[in-house]
């Protein structure tokens, strides 16, 4: 029996960490993820976990401490947002290249500047090529569930990569909602104990971690990282299958919402997918064949699966909550359209940059995207594939 509760997204993430009971948590507080290490430190103080909590002086040190702990053979976790992730920058690449399965809760927030503490995905998108597995969460439930699945994926011997669980800052991190929790012993059994193959504190096998790696082999090591990322896809599905057996909650690489018979669809991530479901239901009631593809696994990117799932549509819109400022499309749009191109699938596609710096995304905004898609289907014309959603009128060119 699951436990019916109501928690904020931050409480959900902290609760998952409590039940996982990692060996080490090293964190430095930053809005809106601050509450996660805050709650977790009370669990430590109250003796609810055995974790060594390292209150570091910066995020660079937080990630460094996690790297040290994982290399030593321990299970390490952290949480951060936006500029906190920026300050970890040097170390997040080191974590992935040393193949250390650290798990991080990333509560998405705009990277400054100008200074902004609200939600968008510019922090996560900045880290998309850092070699971390990236899972996105629509709500508190998914932030909790993804965190519970994280170690099984990251620590798998065919993967051994760090993993970040993303959720939207404030929108879900600070919203109280219903959630189904698992009992502590069930989580413990599901997550299992960490048994690293090679680690620094193994006296029977002295090893060096992170030595100089120049022209002769760095390339091969990067190729191995890429191979691990490819392997992660099947492992993510296998772990999801086990999770479904335990909870009844089904997870894939992405969620298809009324997509089967849809003619027009939106592709997006995190909390906006929930608002989009609300709009899809409304449009379906009016006989409009609208659908949604919600990306859960952004890294590794499910190239063939997403291309195939979108192949029957008459038009799609990809929503990016971060602007790549590249005079072209956002990161998700580029990945989706590239996936379709290499699979020889052509569906008219448009990109909307939206929700920057916490600009609220209303149901009406989402509905306007579906209206645009209907227009594209009717006229068979796309005047400009790179668009904004919710930008003030006076700023539109």
Partner 1 sequence: MDNMIEIRWHGRGGQGAKTASLLLADAAFNTGKYIQGFPEYGPERMGAPITAYNRISQTPITIHSNIYEPDYVVVVDDTLLESVDVTSGLKTTGAIVINTTKSKEYLTKALKGYSGEIYTIDARKISEEALGRYFPNTPMLAAIVKVSKIMTDDELLEDMKGSFKHKFAKKPEVIDGNMKALEMALKEVKKVQ
Contact predicate 247/180, CB 8 Å: yes
Which C-beta is closer to partner 1: that of 271 or that of 324? 271
Q: How far is the CB of 344 from partner 1 (least distance, A)?
A: 34
Q: Which is nearer to partner 1, 1 or 208 (CB)?
A: 1
Q: Counting beta carbons within 10 angstroms of the beta carbon of residue 344, is it exposed (0 to 12), middle (13 to 18) or buried (19 or more)?
A: exposed
Taking the complex as a whole, the smallest distance from the CB of residue 116 to partner 1 amounts, in Å, to 11
Measured from the CB atom, is 319 or 339 closer to partner 1? 319
* DSSP 8-state class, residue 271: T
Which residues are bridge partners to 78 per DSSP?
Answer: 104
Least Å distance, CB 34 to partner 1, is 12
Closest to partner 1 by CB, 138 vs 320, is: 138
DSSP string, 137-173: -SSHHHHHHHHHHHHHHHTSTTT---EEEEEETTTTT
| Rounded least distance, CB 174 to partner 1, Å | 6
Binding site for partner 1 (CB under 8 A): 6, 117-118, 138-139, 168, 170-172, 174-178, 271-272, 274-275, 277-278, 281-282, 360-363
Alpha carbon distance 365, 371 (integer Å): 10
Burial class, 259, CB count within 10 angstroms (exposed 0-12 / middle 13-18 / buried 19+):
buried
User: How many other CB atoms are found less than 10 A from the CB of residue 252?
Assistant: 17
Phi-psi region of 235 (alpha: psi -120 to 50; beta: other; left: phi over 0): alpha
Could you tell me the smallest distance in angstroms from the CB atom of residue 10 to partner 1?
A: 12
Which one, 52 or 180, has the nearer CB to partner 1?
Answer: 180
46's tokens? 């109250």
Between β-strands 315-320 and 264-268, what pairing exists: parallel, antiparallel or unpaired? parallel
Which residue, 178 or 371, is less far from partner 1 as judged by CB? Answer: 178
Nearest approach, Cβ of 318 to partner 1 (angstroms)?
A: 19
């Amino acid at each position: 029996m699951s436990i019916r509760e109501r928690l904020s997204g931050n409480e959900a993430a902290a609760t998952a960490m409590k039940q996982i009971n990692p060996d080490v948590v090293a964190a430095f507080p930053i809005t809106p993820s601050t509450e996660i290490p805050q709650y977790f430190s009370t669990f430590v103080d109250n003796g609810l976990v055995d974790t060594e909590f390292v209150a570091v002086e910066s995020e660079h040190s937080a990630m460094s401490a996690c790297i040290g702990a994982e290399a030593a053979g321990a299970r390490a976790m952290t949480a951060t947002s936006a500029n906190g992730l920026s300050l970890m920058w040097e170390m997040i690449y080191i974590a992935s290249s040393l193949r250390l399965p650290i798990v991080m809760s990333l509560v998405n927030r705009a990277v400054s500047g100008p200074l902004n503490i609200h939600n968008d995905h510019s922090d996560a998108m900045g880290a998309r090529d850092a070699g971390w597995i990236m899972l996105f969460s629509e709500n508190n439930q998914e932030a909790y569930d993804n965190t519970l699945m994280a170690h099984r994926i990251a620590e798998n011997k065919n993967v051994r990569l760090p993993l970040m669980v993303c959720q939207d800052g404030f929108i879900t991190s600070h919203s109280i909602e219903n959630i189904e929790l698992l009992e502590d012993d069930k989580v413990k059994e599901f997550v299992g104990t960490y048994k690293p193959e090679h680690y620094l504190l193994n006296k029977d096998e002295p090893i060096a971690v992170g030595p100089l790696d120049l022209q002769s082999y760095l390339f091969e090591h990067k190729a191995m990282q890429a191979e691990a990322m490819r392997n992660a896809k099947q492992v993510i599905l296998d772990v999801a299958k086990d999770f479904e057996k335990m909870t009844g909650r089904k997870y894939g690489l992405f969620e298809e919402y009324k997509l089967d018979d849809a003619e027009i669809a939106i592709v997006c991530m995190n909390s906006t997918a929930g608002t989009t479901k609300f709009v899809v239901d409304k449009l379906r009631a009016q006989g409009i064949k609208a659908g949604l593809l919600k990306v859960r696994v952004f890294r590794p990117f499910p190239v063939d699966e997403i291309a195939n799932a979108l192949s029957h549509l008459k038009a799609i819109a990809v929503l990016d909550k971060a602007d790549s400022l590249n005079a072209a499309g956002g990161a998700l749009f580029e990945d989706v359209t590239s996936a379709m191109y290499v699979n020889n699938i052509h569906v008219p596609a448009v990109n909307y940059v939206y929700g920057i710096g916490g600009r609220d995304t209303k149901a009406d905004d989402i509905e306007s995207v579906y209206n645009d898609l209907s227009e594209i289907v009717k006229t068979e014309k796309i005047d400009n594939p790179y668009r904004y959603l919710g930008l003030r009128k006076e700023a539109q060119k």
